[in-house]
Amino acid sequence: METILVIVHTETDGSLAKPALEAIAAAKTLGSFSVGLIGADTQKAANQIAGCGAAKFLTVTGAEFAQPRYATDAAAAEAIAKAAAATIIIIPHTSRWGRVAAGVAARLAGRADTHVTGVTTSGITRWYYRQRMEAQMNRTQRPWLIALDPGCVAPLECPAGTAATTPVSVTAMSRTQVTGIKAPEASQQTIRPDAKLLFVAGAGWTKKQADGATHVPEAAEIILGFLNASKSSLGSSKSLVDISGEGGAVLPFMSHLNQVGQTGATPRHPKGLSTCCHGEEPHTVGWRFINERRAISLDPNCGWARGKADVLYVADAFAVMRKVNALLAK
């Protein structure tokens, strides 16, 4: 009989974010479970999920646990796991939890598996070789720390209420102080994992067009115009993000973080629209989890035409996206 625990942290407003609710939903499918909450104020989060059916709400509360920091996060997770005597521990695989997963498993003499895409009573699923092979796995070692990738499970929906919590005391020391966060402005933040649409730009946007000239500033304006109007997430082909290294004309807001594909990211969005991209296998392998795929390319023989896209528009992406932006502006 497993003792199942899910550990999540609260946001700055005291609530639980979507990846936390997904991890709790996953734990709920396994049977009886408890929830560990870490944050400056954990009562608000406990109340938010009061009706989730958890046997216990174990909390580590304090201003020092608000900051995303290895020393305090790992100490808090370790203390909660020990207090619950957990054998299966589920955490969301956010960057914050990904940083402490291995350390917490080592402190508990357990094992950790990361980038897990599914959890059932008979084990976990995760992908290997850049999402080419799906493995079903189990382990005998306990405790087993399972870091669930965001976007794989529908988030928990349950009534709020007033939850009784069990505080767990931790003395966590750290020399690291988080003094602030430097992040691009929301309008420049082009990677949006929760967006309904992935918009991919390929190298074609920077190539010579029918008039024999390049139109990079116009390409940037069209792409940013679409992203700001549609709030979609921006992906790129490798060729486009590599151009900067070769001293070519580049889109200033594009970086290697945007790259989708074999050597890039494998994002999860319900829909994808590829533009000015050839749709070669090393790129389209990163589209594995995009459900509905459309592409705009001048080349009727491109990879998208060969079964990689549901719909291919053989057209000039400059003209199509200009028109789309005009329609969105209405």
Ligand X SMILES: Cc1cc2nc3c(=O)[nH]c(=O)nc-3n(C[C@H](O)[C@H](O)[C@H](O)COP(=O)(O)OP(=O)(O)OC[C@H]3O[C@@H](n4cnc5c(N)ncnc54)[C@H](O)[C@@H]3O)c2cc1C
Q: Output the smallest distance, CB 101 to ligand X, in A.
A: 25
Q: Please report how close the Cβ of residue 294 comes to ligand X at its closest, in angstroms.
A: 13
Between 71 and 315, CB nearer to ligand X:
315
Contact between 137 and 126 under an 8 Å Cβ cutoff? The reply is yes
Q: Tokens 């928990």 sit at which residue?
A: 156
Report the nearest approach of ligand X to the CB of residue 212 (Å): 13
Residues ≥6 apart with Cβ < 8 Å to 133: 127
Q: How far apart are CA 5 and CA 251, in angstroms?
A: 45
Cβ–Cβ under 8 Å, residues 196 and 232: yes
The least CB distance from residue 80 to ligand X, in Å, is 38
Residue nearer to ligand X on the CB measure, 59 or 237 = 237
Alpha helices, H only, the chain? 18-28, 43-48, 70-84, 95-107, 216-230, 238-242, 281-284, 317-329
Closest contact distance (angstroms) between CB of 214 and ligand X is: 10
C-beta closer to ligand X: residue 73 or 280: 280
Classify residue 222 by burial, with Cβ atoms within 10 Å: 0-12, 13-18, 19+.
buried
For ligand X, the closer of residues 72 and 274 by Cβ is 274
Q: How far apart are the first and last CA of the chain?
A: 59
Residue pair 11/18 in contact by the 8 Å Cβ criterion:
no
Minimum distance of ligand X from residue 149's CB (angstroms): 18
Rounded Cα gap, residues 30 and 122, in angstroms? 9
Binding site for ligand X (CB under 6 A): 202-204, 207, 209, 237-240, 259-264, 276-278, 280, 282-283, 286, 296-299, 302, 316-318
Q: Are 141 and 41 in contact (CB under 8 A)?
A: no
Nearer to ligand X, 29 or 301 (CB): 301
Task: Label the pairing between strands 123-128 and 111-120.
Answer: antiparallel
- Considering the complex, state which of residue 33 and residue 304 has its C-beta at the smaller distance from ligand X: 304
Q: Based on CB atoms, which residue is closest to ligand X, 10 or 284?
A: 284
Structure tokens at 127: 């992908």
For 165, the token pair is: 């919590």
Cα 176–Cα 181–Cα 184 angle in degrees, nearest 5: 150
Query: What's the closest the beta carbon of residue 152 comes to ligand X, in angstroms?
Result: 21
Least separation in angstroms between CB 243 and ligand X:
9
H or E stretch at 6: strand 4-9
Residue with Cβ nearer ligand X (157 or 221): 221
d(CA 218, CA 203): 14
